[in-house]
Amino acid sequence: MTSLSGLLPTFSKENGRLFISGQLWKVLSPSFSTGACRGVKTVAAEEATLPDLDHVDADAEDQDTSAEAERIQKIRDISGLRPNHRNIVHRVCPTEEKVLPHHYTTYYNKRMFGRYGYASGVNPGLCWPTQEQLAEIKEYERVAYPYSIMEVAKRELEKEEAEKERILSRDAEVADKYQKMLKLKEEFLKRKVKEKEEAEAAKAFKNRLIEEVRLHFNYTINERDERFRLEVKERAKQLREKEKLEKKTLKKEKQAVDKAAKFEIQKKQLLAEEERKAAVKST
C-alpha cells in the first residue's frame, strides 16, 4: 500500500517546478495515462492540466451560503403565505407554470401582462381584440353612444345654459319671496303694535268708565253689582256715540277743508286762465 506522502505533490522553490507522483496524477486526471505524467512539468503546464481547487471550494462555499440563506429565510417567513401569494405581495409574477384552468383564459393573461409586463411571459398580442370582438365593440359603441363628440359637447353646453337659467330664475324667485317676507313681517309688527295700542285704549276706556260710574254713585260700590254693570253699559254706549259724533264732525270738517282747498286751487287756475287770455288779447 502506497504511503500518503507519496501521493502529495512536491514543489521546488529553486526552479519553480512541481513534482507529482504517478498515482496522484492518476487520481486527479484519470483520462491520462500514468506514463504520460512521469517526469518534470513546468508551472504553466501544471496550471493548464490541474483542476482549480480554489474555484471548486468557492462554488461549494457559495452553495453552502445560499442553502444557509434559504434556510434562514424559511425560518424568518412566519406569514404562512403560499409561494404564489408571497410573490404577489413582493410584486413578482405569481407562478411561471400554468396549473389551474383559469390560467389559460385570455382575461387572466391580459391581467398578468398588465401587471408584470414581459416578466409574465405573456404574448402582448393577446391584449388586442379579435376581429369579431372588435366588430362587437363597434356595434355596442354605435348603439350606446349614438352622438358624436361635437353633438355631445353641444348638448352639454345646452344643459349648462339651462341650469344657469334655472339657478337665476330660482334666485330671483327667492329674492322676491324674501322681499314679500320682509313686507309681511313689517305688517305683522304693525298689526301687533296696533293690537297693543287698541288693548291699552280699551283698558283705559274701561278704567275711565269705572271711575265715572264710581263718581256718579259717589260712594264705593262693588263692580259685580247689577246697578254698576248697567251704569257701565250705559256710559259706554254714550261714550261710543260721542266718539262717533266726534269722528263724524272731524270727517265733515276735513271734507270742508279739503273742499275749500280744492276750491282755492280751482279759483287760482281760473284766475291764471283769465290772465293768460287777457295777455293774449293785449298782444
pLDDT tens digits for range 15-41: 444 444 444 444 344 444 444 444 444
Q: Indicate the residue type of 186.
A: E
Measured CA to CA, the distance from residue 102 to residue 104 in angstroms comes to 5
- Indicate whether 125 pLDDT > 80: yes
Of 59, 206, 192, 108, the C-alpha closest to 214 is: 206
Whole-structure pTM value? 0.35
Per-residue pLDDT tens over the stretch 203-216:
887 787 777 777 76
Mean pLDDT, residues 123-147 = 91
pLDDT grade for 131, boundaries at 50, 70 and 90: very high
99 compared with 199, residue with greater pLDDT: 199
Q: Please report which confidence band the pLDDT of residue 60 belongs to, taking 50, 70 and 90 as the band edges.
A: confident
The model's confidence at residue 173, banded by pLDDT at 50, 70 and 90, is: very high
Average pLDDT, the chain: 77
**Residue among 148, 91, 152, 145 nearest 117 (CA):** 91
Residue 1 has pLDDT above 50, yes or no: no
Start-to-end Cα distance in the chain: 176
Q: What is the pLDDT of residue 172?
A: 96
Determine the average pLDDT of the residues in 227-250.
Answer: 80
d(CA 121, CA 112): 9
